[in-house]
Structure 1
């Protein structure tokens, strides 16, 4: 994907993605049934106590690929090219230091996701996301009046509405909560509990997440699966 030329109306996002060689990348791609970097389909595991195939429960996150959002998807501002986005993201990544974050599986509303297990990890990831957003914000196309009105119609707090208007997304800065989505919205609490239990049993062997890079993902056209275009490694490891 490194030499891809994307359509002008493609959307770009800065996500955290585990390194391609890591057990976390393999486990997440297998769970969702798709590798967003290679484009290949994967064989998903099947928790024993599910009444329906796992693939029916993971359609939404499968389209986005295995990731944790740092900067939500955005279109390009007038005069901005994909090269501008790549260069700005690479330069930003060189200002970031690698660190590890223990994670846990949990329900977030009707979804199942991985999230930081400790407040320190949450705070570090919030700072990384805020830095990326501030660096790239000038490259982002502002939403149309109709799109902004549609988004503001969602149930948001006043602060979230203000963040959406200024930054294009309501869950940034102090409203940001890092997570890696493991399911679509599931009304069945038993299904959610089954997925949480499956991941809780496997997280100890996978260990903490290594936050040593980000990745540029691209939605080539509205509704199409996101693809991992470029990985951008962080420059240094945090000094203890």
Structure 2
């Protein structure tokens, strides 16, 4: 999706998103009911045994689009343009080498998500996200006092509070856990189990994720759906 000049309230994010031609993009976009690159709605599956429509259980991740976060959404610092963000992200991506990521479905608290399968896979994604954050940090506006107060009111560890104050977000570096969200927060354990079982049955056929690029997403205005703005390819040589 090509971008225009968004207002000062727009937020940008660096995500991982499977290539649009891939089975992973098809599966995730259909699951959430929206293609974040085209903006078009998608027909969602209905897992067997689920009492409510899947749309009722996926509203939160649908707004954000099919992705895993590398750099959480941010507004631009004074004097920074969207072209600065695009150029910096492209330059960073050109220093990264592609790799494959084994993945598994899991429950994370009250959510269902995909996560890296194994310690090395976790470490690879943590290193990738940390590198992206360090590169783009100076382009990001500092959190407002209201944003800080809201986050500090949440149950954070001392380390997470330190990271929030220094980096504007508590779940970075050693506290980062890569995941691709598949549901809203679900209080019903049976609903979580049904969604988890669906993905445990279907994910193996999709194989590992090809981590060969990042994707810049944008929230044009507060509360609007995030859209995939630009894909930024990594170096073509894959790390073995």
Q: Indicate how the Cα distance of structure 1 residues 203 and 8 shifts in structure 2: closer, same or farther if over 3 A, else same.
A: same
Partner residue of 1:75?
A: 75
Q: Would the aligned equivalents of 2:99 and 2:239 in 1 still touch at CA under 8 Å?
A: no
Matched, 1:201 2:201: yes
Give SS of 1:178's match: coil
Structure 2 spans left out of the alignment, 5+ residues:
none
Q: Indicate how the Cα distance of structure 1 residues 82 and 158 shifts in structure 2: closer, same or farther if over 3 A, else same.
A: same
Partner residue of 2:91?
A: 91
Q: Would the aligned equivalents of 2:114 and 2:180 in 1 still touch at CA under 8 Å?
A: yes
The within-5 A match list for 1:5-44 is 5-44=5-44
- CA–CA distance in 1 between the matches of 2:213 and 2:194? 31
**Deviations 1:19-50, CA, capped at 9 Å, x for gaps:** 01000000000000000000000000000110
Q: Would the aligned equivalents of 2:34 and 2:41 in 1 still touch at CA under 8 Å?
A: yes
Partner residue of 1:144?
A: 144
- CA–CA distance in 1 between the matches of 2:102 and 2:47? 23
Compare 3-12 and 29-38 and name the one that shifted more. 3-12
How far apart are 1:239 and its partner, in Å? 4.0
**Number of residue pairs matched?**
240
Partner residue of 2:132?
A: 132
Structure 1 spans left out of the alignment, 5+ residues:
none
How far apart are 1:149 and its partner, in Å? 1.3
**When the two structures are superposed, what TM-score results if normalisation uses the length of structure 2?**
0.98
Partner residue of 1:110?
A: 110
Give SS of 1:51's match: coil
- CA–CA distance in 1 between the matches of 2:83 and 2:40? 26
**When the two structures are superposed, what TM-score results if normalisation uses the length of structure 1?**
0.98
